[in-house]
Amino acid sequence: MEHRYLGRSGLKVSEITYGNWLTHGSQVENDAATACVRAALDAGITTFDTADAYANGAAETVLGAALKGERRASVEILTKVYWPTGPKGPNDSGLSRKHIMESIDGSLRRLQTDYVDLYQAHRYDVETPLEETMQAFADVIRSGKALYIGVSEWTAAQLRDGQALAEDLGFRLVSNQPQYSMLWRVIEGEVVPASEELGISQIVFSPIAQGVLTGKYRPGAAPPAGSRATDEKGGATMIKRWMDDDTLTRVQAVAPVASDLGLSMAQLAVAWVLQNDNVASAIIGASRPEQVADNVRAAGVRLDPEVLERVDEALGEKVERDPGKTQSPPTRPS
């Protein structure tokens, strides 16, 4: 496992981050979730990403229990705040000072730790003054409850405004967590150039496009039993955008590229996002330990320009590049 610096900071994260969105506390039983975390540790992964909203706090609880007994300084624990939590009252979402201060304490309690390495704004809150949000994050830093601050799915303009306020308050934004894959490249046009300018790295989620880029979904065929596309708890909704036959046919055309490199399609997909110099880490999820072992083999893989061109030719117009698709909800969710 290789490690990369996170933004313009001294913090290093593993090239592969283990994340538990849509798995821990919902799709995967606790024993299996713990086995996946242990497999991640055995594979050299040191960075673990979660959020308070995942399974309404249960994902943090499962991750905290799975990491219990590990040397705290040897792992990086990342969590987030924004989406509705708890009983979903009027102040149980967003980036108000009240919600941030209460949420960090709840996350630390569930994770069984005194601090998180990275605390992230899970989206941009259009209803709370940015000054209030940044001041609250500054106070979280000063209290020692988080070491670094990041964001998720912020636009280039939002990153610039946030970084300017953060620097005025004596800290810096070090990361952004966007969706990024061979099929979804909306950050390349504006977010990545702004991030490079501001000293912000990407920690990307869905590098295998919810499993579509594994090649297991075939055009004209029913999804495999037990796959994410059959999950009624949320997985099927997330993956739906890519389940048309045209897209699936294009994805199958990537298989020879992976085969020529001696990689699985999932490994190629994860390695592909890591070719972007602004990407510090790619988040993988798993429901079985062997999935972790498979995806981790993408770490350290370097792809020649010819390989990248073959991928582009295979996927063609199915690649989404519109920067306007990077945006936060128009109102705070309730």
Mean pLDDT throughout 178-207?
A: 97
**Extended strands (E) in the chain:** 3-5, 12-14, 16-19, 47-49, 76-81, 116-121, 146-151, 173-176, 201-204, 279-284
CB count within 10 Å of CB 331 equals 10
Which tens digits make up the pLDDT trace of 139-148? Answer: 999 999 999 9
Q: What is the pLDDT of residue 114?
A: 98
Residue 289 vs residues 28, 51, 94, 123, 328: alpha-carbon distances, Å: 12, 21, 34, 30, 33
Mean pLDDT throughout 76-90?
A: 95
Name the residue type at position 130. Answer: L
Residue 115 vs residues 44, 118, 133, 182, 204: alpha-carbon distances, Å: 22, 9, 19, 34, 22
Hunting for tokens 């149980």 — which residue is that?
A: 92
- pLDDT of 221 above 80: no
Q: 0.85 exceeded by the pTM? A: yes
- pLDDT of 228 above 70: no
Distance of alpha carbon 61 from alpha carbon 66, whole angstroms: 9
Q: With H, G, I as helix, E, B as strand and everything else as coil, classify residue 34.
A: helix
Is residue 334 a part of any domain in this protein? no
H-helix segments, 219-288: 235-239, 245-252, 255-261, 265-274
Distance of alpha carbon 64 from alpha carbon 62, whole angstroms: 5
Is residue 105 a part of any domain in this protein? yes
Confidence of residue 138 (pLDDT cuts 50, 70, 90): very high
- pLDDT of 234 above 80: no
Query: Measuring CA to CA, which residue among 12, 122, 151, 150 is closest to residue 59?
Result: 122
Is residue 331 a part of any domain in this protein? no
Q: What is the pLDDT of residue 271?
A: 97
CB count within 10 Å of CB 208 equals 25
CB 138 within 8 A of CB 169: yes
- How does DSSP classify residue 318? G
Confidence of residue 296 (pLDDT cuts 50, 70, 90): very high
Distance of alpha carbon 294 from alpha carbon 290, whole angstroms: 6
Q: Give the residue numbers spanning the domain of 218.
A: 3-325
CB 34 within 8 A of CB 40: no
Hunting for tokens 């592969």 — which residue is that?
A: 16
Is residue 222 a part of any domain in this protein? yes
Confidence of residue 229 (pLDDT cuts 50, 70, 90): low
- pLDDT of 231 above 90: no
Q: Which tokens is 136 given?
A: 């609250």
For residues 104, 30, 284, 329, the Cα torsion angle rounded to the nearest 10 degrees is: -50
Q: What is the pLDDT of residue 233?
A: 63
- pLDDT of 25 above 60: no
Q: What is the pLDDT of residue 210?
A: 87
**Extended strands (E) in 51-95:** 76-81
Q: With H, G, I as helix, E, B as strand and everything else as coil, classify residue 306.
A: helix
Query: Measuring CA to CA, which residue among 327, 227, 244 is closest to residue 287?
Result: 227
Please give the share of the chain, as a percent, with pLDDT higher than 70. Answer: 93
Question: In CATH, what number is assigned to the domain containing residue 296?
Answer: 3.20.20.100
- pLDDT of 177 above 80: yes
Q: What is the pLDDT of residue 332?
A: 87
Is residue 283 a part of any domain in this protein? yes
Better pLDDT: 138 or 222: 138
Between the ranges 14-28, 40-54, 233-247, where is the mean pLDDT highest? 40-54
Is residue 277 a part of any domain in this protein? yes
The region of weakest confidence among 2-16, 129-143, 201-215, 237-251 is 237-251
Mean pLDDT throughout 173-186?
A: 97
CB 48 within 8 A of CB 285: no
Distance of alpha carbon 264 from alpha carbon 160, whole angstroms: 38
Q: What is the pLDDT of residue 85?
A: 93
Is residue 330 a part of any domain in this protein? no
Q: What is the pLDDT of residue 239?
A: 76
Q: With H, G, I as helix, E, B as strand and everything else as coil, classify residue 147.
A: strand
Query: Ramachandran region of residue 176, left (φ > 0), alpha (ψ -120 to 50) or beta?
Result: beta
Is residue 11 a part of any domain in this protein? yes
Number of domain units in the chain: 1
Could you list the active site residues? 54
Confidence of residue 226 (pLDDT cuts 50, 70, 90): low
